[in-house]
C-alpha cells in the first residue's frame, strides 16, 4: 500500500474519498469540524437528525458533499469516547477500510490521527492505519478458476493537523505498510492447501524472500539426507510416514553492522498437514489442519516485514517442516526416537508431533549462540480452550524476554498472555522407557507441551507462543489471520540498537 502524509485543510483535499472519524458523544474532532464549517454544517446536521449514528465501526458513505474538494465522504463511528481504546480504533479502521476496499476508489485520504488514544502517538496511529488498509485489500484467490476482481485501493493519504508530526506519521505508516504485507504473506501461506503448500514449497518461499531482500537475507535448506547426518531424529520421525520429504529451512537476515552480533532466532512449526498420524484425528474439521504451518507462516511473514524495514540487528529464522501422515512407515505409539540434542523421546501419541519437529529446531538454534529464541506454533487444542481466539499463549524460561514479548503484543495489538512454566508440571512427561514422553496427559495440555520444548531450550533465553487459537478463523470467515506477525515484528524492531552484552569466556 502506497502512502503519503498531508497537513492541509481536509475540506480542500482532492481525493476519491475522504474518511472522517466521529465520536458518539462530544464535539466534532478536528477534521470533522473543518469539514462541517466548509459544508454548511453537513456533519452536525446528519448527527442531529439521527441520519448517522457514530456507534463503533458504523460506516456511512456520502456520495457528494457541498463545499468539499473530495468526491465522496465516509463517516466512521468511534463509539463512546470513554470506551475508546486500541481495540476500538482497530475495529473502526477495519470497518472503514473493509468498506473502502469494495468501492471503485484507488486512493483515499483519512483523518484517523484525530482519534487519539492516551499513550499512543501519531506514529502508532499511522502504523495502525496503514496496517489495516493493507490487510483490507487482501484476497485469497489463488485457487479460484475465475478470481473476483481485486480491490482497487492502493494509496492512503494520512491527514494530520500538526505539521511537526509529519516525520513521525511517515515512520509509523512505513511500519504499518510493511507489517501488513508480512501479515498478508502469512495469510496466503496459511490459506494454501496442503497439496500445494508442502515442506518443499515452504523451502521455495525462503528462496523467494531471499531474492526480494537486496542480499540481506540468505537461506540454507536442510533436506532429509542433511537432517539424517545431523541426527535430527525427531523431525525426521514425524515426516517418515509422508510422501512429502521433510525440511529444516534456515533464513539468515544480517542487518547489524557486525555480522557476529548475537542474533534473535525465530522458530516456526511448519506441519503442512496434521492428520494426527497413526493417532489419527476425527474427520470433522480436519481440513483446518492445513493451518498447522501457521507458526512457520508467521515466521515468513515477519521476515518479509524485516527485509522491508531493514532494522539494524541480526535475525535467524528456522522453519521445521513436515507432513504428519498415517502410513506403513509412520511412527507408532510407543516408538522411541533420538533427538538432535541426544535426548530420547517415547512417542505416546503421534498427534503430538509439533513438539517433535520443534525440539530438533530448538537444539539446532544453539549453534547460533542466540540473544533470544522465540518459537511460534499451533501446538495444542488445549490452548484454544484456555485462551480462545484473542490471546496467544506465552511461555518462557526468561521473565525479561516474556515481558518484552507481552509489550510487543500490546503495542502491535496482537496480544499474548503469560502462562506458567513451572517445574511442577515437568513430571507429567516422565517415561518408563525413554528420557521423556511426548505427551503429559490431559491436565494443563498446553503447559506440558511447553515443558517438553523447554528441555531443548535450556542454553538461551527462550519463549514459546502457542497460536493454536489465534492463527486462523473458523466458520464462514475461515482463513488464516496472519498473527502473530504484528507481535513478532514489533518485538524485533524494539531490539534494534539494543546491544547484547556477552560475558567473557
Q: Which of 21, 354, 445, 469 binds Zn ion (CB under 5 A)?
A: 354
Does position 241 bind ligand BES by CB under 6 A?
no
Active site residue 355: yes
Does position 384 bind ligand BES by CB under 6 A?
yes
CB of 448 to ligand BES, least distance (A): 8
Q: Which three cell numbers stand for residue 488?
A: 513478532
Q: Which of 170, 290, 355, 455 is catalytic?
A: 355
* Cα 369 to Cα 262, 264, 314, 460, distances in angstroms: 6, 9, 12, 8
Which residue of the chain is nearest ligand BES when measured via CB?
381
CB of 351 to Mn ion, least distance (A): 4
Please give the size of the binding site for ligand BES, defined by CB under 6 A: 16
Sorted by sequence, the CB contacts under 8 Å of residue 408 that are 6+ apart come out as 487, 488, 490, 491, 494
Only one of the segments 372-380, 394-402, 422-430, 477-485 lies at the binding site for ligand BES (rule: CB under 6 A); that segment is: 372-380
Does position 381 bind ligand BES by CB under 6 A?
yes
Q: Which residues bind Mn ion (CB under 5 A)?
A: 274, 351, 353
CB of 300 to ligand BES, least distance (A): 18
Does position 155 bind ligand BES by CB under 6 A?
no
Does position 98 bind ligand BES by CB under 6 A?
no
Instruction: Pick the closer one to Mn ion by CB: 230 or 286.
Output: 286
Q: What share of the chain is helix, strand, coil (3-state, %, to 5)?
A: 40, 20, 40
Query: Smallest Cα–Cα separation from 15: which of 140, 124, 109?
Result: 109
Q: Which of 107, 155, 344, 349 binds ligand BES (CB under 6 A)?
A: 349
Query: Smallest Cα–Cα separation from 262: which of 318, 314, 317?
Result: 314
Q: Are 435 and 345 in contact (CB under 8 A)?
A: yes
Instruction: Pick the closer one to ligand BES by CB: 4 or 349.
Output: 349
Pairing of strands 472-473, 479-480: antiparallel
Cis peptide preceding 484, ω within 30 of 0? yes
Distance, in Å, from the CA atom of 360 to the CA atom of 376, rounded to the nearest integer, reads: 14
Contact string 14-43 vs ligand BES (x = CB under 6 A): ------------------------------
Does position 276 bind Zn ion by CB under 5 A?
no
DSSP string of 267-327, one letter each residue:
EEEEEEEE--TTSPPPSTTGGGGGGGGHHHHHHHHHHHHHHHH--SSEEEEEEEEEEE---
Length of the chain in residues, anyone? Answer: 505
Which parts of this chain interact with Zn ion (CB under 5 A)? 271, 274, 292, 354
Which parts of this chain interact with ligand BES (CB under 6 A)? 274, 292, 349, 351-354, 378-382, 384, 439, 445, 468
Point out the residues that are catalytic.
281, 355
Amino acid at each position: 500500500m502506497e502512502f503519503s502524509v498531508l497537513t492541509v485543510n481536509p475540506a480542500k483535499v482532492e481525493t476519491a474519498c475522504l474518511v472522517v472519524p466521529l465520536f458518539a458523544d462530544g464535539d466534532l474532532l478536528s477534521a470533522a469540524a473543518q469539514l462541517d464549517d466548509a459544508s454548511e454544517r453537513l456533519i452536525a446536521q446528519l448527527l442531529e437528525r439521527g441520519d448517522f449514528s457514530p456507534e463503533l465501526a458504523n460506516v456511512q458513505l456520502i456520495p457528494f458533499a457541498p463545499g468539499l474538494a473530495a468526491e465522496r465522504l465516509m463517516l466512521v463511528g468511534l463509539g463512546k469516547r470513554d470506551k475508546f481504546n486500541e481495540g476500538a480504533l482497530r475495529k473502526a479502521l477495519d470497518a472503514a477500510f473493509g468498506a473502502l476496499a469494495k468501492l471503485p476508489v484507488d486512493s483515499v485520504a483519512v483523518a484517523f490521527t484525530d482519534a487519539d488514544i492516551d499513550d499512543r502517538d501519531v506514529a502508532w496511529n499511522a502504523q495502525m492505519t496503514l496496517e489495516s488498509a493493507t490487510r483490507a485489500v487482501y484476497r485469497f484467490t489463488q485457487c479460484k478458476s475465475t478470481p473476483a476482481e481485486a480491490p482497487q485501493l492502493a494509496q492512503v493519504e494520512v491527514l494530520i493537523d500538526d505539521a511537526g508530526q509529519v516525520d513521525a506519521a511517515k515512520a509509523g505508516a512505513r511500519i504499518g505498510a510493511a507489517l501488513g504485507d508480512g501479515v498478508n504473506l502469512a495469510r496466503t501461506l496459511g490459506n494454501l492447501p496442503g497439496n500445494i503448500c508442502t515442506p518443499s514449497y515452504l523451502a521455495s518461499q525462503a528462496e523467494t524472500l531471499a531474492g526480494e531482500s537486496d542480499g540481506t537475507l540468505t537461506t540454507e535448506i536442510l533436506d532429509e539426507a542433511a537432517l539424517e547426518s545431523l541426527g535430527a531424529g525427531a523431525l525426521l520421525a514425524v515426516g517418515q510416514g509422508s510422501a512429502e520429504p521433510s525440511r529444516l529451512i534456515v533464513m539468515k537476515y544480517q542487518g547489524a553492522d557486525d555480522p557476529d552480533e548475537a542474533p534473535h532466532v525465530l522458530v516456526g512449526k511448519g506441519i503442512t498437514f496434521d492428520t494426527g498420524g497413526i493417532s489419527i484425528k476425527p474427520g470433522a474439521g480436519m481440513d483446518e489442519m492445513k493451518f498447522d504451518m501457521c507458526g512457520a507462516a508467521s515466521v515468513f511473514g515477519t521476515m518479509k516485514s524485516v527485509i522491508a524495514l531493514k532494522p539494524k540487528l541480526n535475525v535467524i529464522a528456522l522453519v521445521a517442516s513436515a507432513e504428519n501422515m498415517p502410513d506403513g512407515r509412520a511412527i507408532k505409539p510407543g516408538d522411541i526416537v533420538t533427538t538432535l540434542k541426544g535426548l530420547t523421546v517415547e512417542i505416546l501419541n503421534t498427534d503430538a508431533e509439533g513438539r517433535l519437529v520443534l525440539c530438533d529446531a530448538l537444539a539446532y538454534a544453539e549453534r547460533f549462540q542466540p540473544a533470544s529464541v522465540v518459537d511460534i506454533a499451533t501446538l495444542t487444542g488445549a490452548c484454544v480452550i484456555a485462551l480462545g481466539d484473542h490471546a496467544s499463549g506465552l511461555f518462557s524460561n526468561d521473565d525479561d524476554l516474556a515481558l518484552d514479548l507481552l509489550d510487543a503484543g500490546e503495542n502491535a495489538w496482537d496480544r499474548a498472555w503469560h502462562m506458567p512454566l513451572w517445574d511442577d508440571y515437568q513430571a507429567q512427561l516422565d517415561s518408563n522407557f525413554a528420557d521423556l514422553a511426548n505427551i503429559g496427559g490431559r491436565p494443563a495440555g498446553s503447559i506440558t507441551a511447553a515443558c517438553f520444548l523447554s528441555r531443548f531450550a535450556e542454553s538461551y533465553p527462550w519463549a514459546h507462543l502457542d497460536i493454536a487459537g489465534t492463527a486462523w478463523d473458523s466458520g464462514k470467515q475461515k482463513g488464516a489471520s496472519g498473527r502473530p506477525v504484528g507481535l513478532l515484528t514489533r518485538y524485533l524492531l524494539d531490539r534494534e540498537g539494543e546491544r547484547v552484552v556477552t560475558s567473557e569466556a
